[in-house]
Amino acid sequence: MSRRPFVREVSRTRWYFRQPRYLRYMSREVTCIFIGAFALLLLCAVRRLSQGQAAWESFLAALEGPWSALGLVVILVFAVHNTTSWFNVTPKAMPVQIGEEFLPGKFIVAAHYVAWILVSLLVLYFAGVR
């Protein structure tokens, strides 16, 4: 009797179509492209700001228009998906044990949402939104 184990090849480019859970994972991972794009936009904004008022105003003018607004909305949707999908798994990474019990995960998730809202309000406050 001879051993001749058979190895099943896994497609390196289509593996995530095998299961809906893999597609869900990829939908979270692909958000990094949009987060990265927004980070680049922010860097451009800082650079233009450092170049003076005229440069800053031309940067703002370039952002006006329907295509730019659409792009920002798309980025916002992916950013929210990124944020919520990570918030929802935080209890796995940061379990809180109190005595012999664990704090229910929903409290840890809720704490992240509360912190998110507070930080957003602070940013809006410093941005001059009253």
Partner 1 sequence: MSDRLVHLDVLRYDPETDSEPHFQHYEVTCKEEWVVLDALNAVKESIDPTLNYRWSCHMAVCGSCGMMINGEPKLSCHAFLRNYEGVIRVEPLANFPIERDLITVADDFIDKLKQVKPYLIPKDDKSIDEGEYKQTPAQLMKYRQFSMCINCMLCYAACPEYALAPGFLGPAAITLAHRYNLDSRDGGRDQRQEVIASDQGVWQCSFVGACSEVCPKAVDPAGALQQVKLASTLDWFKEHLLPGGKP
Under the rule (CB under 8 A), what is the footprint of partner 1?
Answer: 1-8, 10, 12, 15-16, 18-19, 21-22, 25, 29, 89, 91-95, 97, 99-102
Instruction: Say whether 40 sits in a helix, a strand or coil.
Output: helix
64 or 100: whose CB is closer to partner 1? 100
Angle between helices 53-63 and 66-87 (to 10 degrees): 80
Task: Give min distance, CB of 87 to partner 1, in A.
Answer: 13
Task: Give min distance, CB of 28 to partner 1, in A.
Answer: 9
Alpha-carbon dihedral sign for residues 92, 93, 99, 105: negative
Task: Give min distance, CB of 75 to partner 1, in A.
Answer: 22
Instruction: Say whether 102 sits in a helix, a strand or coil.
Output: strand
